[in-house]
Amino acid sequence: MKRFPTLIAVALWLGGATGCAPVISTELRKQADPFITFAMVQKAPRQYKNKIVIWSGSIVETTNTQQGTLIEILQHAADSSGKPTDTDHSEGRFMILDTRFLDPAIHAAGRLVTVAGQVQGSRNKTVGQLEYCYPLLEVRELVLWPKEERYRQPYYDPYYYDRPWWWRMQIGTGWMF
């Protein structure tokens, strides 16, 4: 009988641990240097050439070229699984080059991505009227996160008659909640 609570605790722990698994393969996570930050590569992209990094962000623009698909990404911090979390803050932008054809309708602006890639240097492009230096990654693995649909919860006004039955339950004589 004492084993039952232990089994329940182990089952819950295993379920929670698998829910936070990283999306990038173990092999690439071992090759990636966690101490190389986005800011470091942005300041000196040539110094980190051929290093593997794992970054997350939201897509700004997708362009297909002769070399493959070039995606401009706004960098965001990621959680333990690699999913971008704080989409209101960013350290800057970077570009990724994938040799495959990626459809711009699927890899559209605003979609969240996590990429493991090899630093290839930098590429310049104008943002508005400013010349911007983008760190460039060659894609090793790319994860496109599913769109999160936000559903509006219905508002139940206590004065309407079409509310759920549990909204007006009586206790004793006259007490309502």
- Has residue 122 been placed in a domain? yes
Percent of the chain with pLDDT over 90: 60
pLDDT band at 22 (very low <50, low <70, confident <90, very high): confident
CATH of residue 58: 2.40.50.140
Per-residue pLDDT at 13: 61
- Has residue 169 been placed in a domain? no
- Has residue 168 been placed in a domain? no
- Has residue 6 been placed in a domain? no
Of 138, 104, 135, the C-alpha closest to 118 is 138
Percent of the chain with pLDDT over 70: 73
Per-residue pLDDT at 5: 60
* Helix residue ranges per DSSP H, 20-85: 26-31, 38-43
Per-residue pLDDT at 23: 87
pLDDT in tens, 99-121: 999 999 999 999 999 999 999 99
Residue reference for tokens 């182990």 = 10
pLDDT band at 149 (very low <50, low <70, confident <90, very high): confident
- Has residue 10 been placed in a domain? no
Per-residue pLDDT at 112: 96
The total number of residues shown for the chain amounts to 177
- Has residue 161 been placed in a domain? no
Using only C-alpha atoms, the chain has a radius of gyration, in whole angstroms, of 24
Range of the domain at 97: 26-144
For range 9-17, the mean pLDDT? 59
* Helix residue ranges per DSSP H, the chain: 3-19, 26-31, 38-43
- Has residue 177 been placed in a domain? no
| Number of domains into which the chain is organized | 1
pLDDT in tens, 30-89: 999 889 999 999 999 999 999 999 999 999 999 999 999 999 999 999 998 889 988 889
- Has residue 82 been placed in a domain? yes
